[in-house]
C-alpha cells in the first residue's frame, strides 16, 4: 500500500515494505530505506540509518495527520494524505488570496481598533493593533476592503487565530 506524504511543498510517495519491531524497510520516492526507528520519549524518535543517529521531534499540528517535524536544523510541515485530506485540500484551493477575517496568530490583547463597521479601507492600511509580551503588532489589509463586522473591542484578551474583524 502506498501513501502520499506532503512535506512543505513537496509531495512524496511512501511505501512501507516491512516492519518488524523498530526495524523498518520503507521506500520514499523510489529510494529504499532500511531504518531502525524507535520512539524514545513521547513525540521524540531516535532513528538510525546507515549508522547515522538522528533525533526527530514530532508535534501534532491540529490533526492526527499533520505534524510539525523538527530535525537537527530544520522544521518541516508534514501531512499524511488520505481521502479525507485530499477532499479538504481541493475545497481549500477554491478560496484563494486573503481570507475574509483578520486574526492574530498569537494570543494577546487588543490595543487599538482603527476602523468602524462600514469603513472602506485601502490596501496596506492598519485596521487593528494587538499587543503581547510588551510588543505591539499591527494588522493590515492586503487589498481595498470593506469592514463588515468587528468582533472584539479595545482591551479584549484574544486567543491566537480568533477572528477579530470580518472584511469583504
Quickly list H helices, the chain.
83-94
Minimum CB separation of residue 150 from other proteins in Å reads 21
Query: Please, what is the minimum distance in Å from the beta carbon of residue 164 to other proteins?
Result: 15
Instruction: Give residue 10's Cα distance to chain centre.
Output: 15
Q: Which residue's CB is nearer to other proteins, number 54 or number 87?
A: 54
Q: 114-142: buried (b, 16+ CB within 10 Å) or exposed (e) per residue? A: ebeeeeebeeeeebbbbebeeeeeeeebe
**How crowded is the C-beta side of 168, counted as CA atoms within 13 Å?**
9
Cβ of residue 78: shortest distance to other proteins, in angstroms? 4
**Residue 102: count of CB within 10 angstroms of its CB:** 22
Residue 84 CB partners (closer than 8 Å, separation 6+): none
> CB-wise, 12 or 146, nearer to other proteins?
12
The nearest distance, CB 21 to other proteins, in angstroms, is 10
Nearer to other proteins, 31 or 92 (CB): 31
Q: Which is nearer to other proteins, 64 or 168 (CB)?
A: 64
- Pick the closer one to other proteins by CB: 47 or 114: 47
Q: How many of the other CB atoms lie within 10 Å of CB of 13?
A: 12
Cβ at position 120, least distance to other proteins in Å:
27
**Which residues are at the interface with other proteins (CB under 8 A)?**
3, 5, 7, 10, 12, 14, 16, 19, 22, 24, 26, 28-29, 31, 33, 35-49, 51-60, 64-65, 67, 69-74, 76, 78, 80, 105-109, 132-135, 137, 157, 160
Amino acid at each position: 500500500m502506498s501513501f502520499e506524504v506532503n512535506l512543505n511543498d513537496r509531495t512524496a510517495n511512501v511505501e512501507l515494505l516491512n516492519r518488524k519491531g523498530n526495524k523498518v524497510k520503507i521506500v520514499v520516492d523510489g529510494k529504499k530505506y532500511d531504518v531502525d526507528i524507535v520512539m524514545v520519549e513521547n513525540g521524540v524518535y531516535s532513528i538510525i540509518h546507515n549508522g547515522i543517529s538522528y533525533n526527530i521531534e514530532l508535534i501534532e499540528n491540529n490533526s492526527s495527520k499533520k505534524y510539525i517535524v523538527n530535525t537537527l536544523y530544520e522544521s518541516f510541515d508534514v501531512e499524511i494524505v488520505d481521502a479525507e485530506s485530499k477532499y479538504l485540500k481541493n475545497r481549500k484551493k477554491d478560496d484563494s488570496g486573503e481570507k475574509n477575517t483578520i486574526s492574530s496568530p498569537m494570543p494577546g490583547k487588543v490595543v487599538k481598533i482603527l476602523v468602524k463597521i462600514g469603513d472602506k479601507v485601502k490596501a496596506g492600511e492598519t485596521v487593528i493593533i494587538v499587543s503581547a509580551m510588551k510588543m505591539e503588532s499591527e494588522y493590515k489589509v492586503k487589498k481595498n476592503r470593506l469592514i463588515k463586522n468587528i468582533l472584539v473591542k479595545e482591551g479584549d484578551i484574544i486567543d491566537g487565530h480568533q477572528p477579530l474583524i470580518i472584511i469583504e
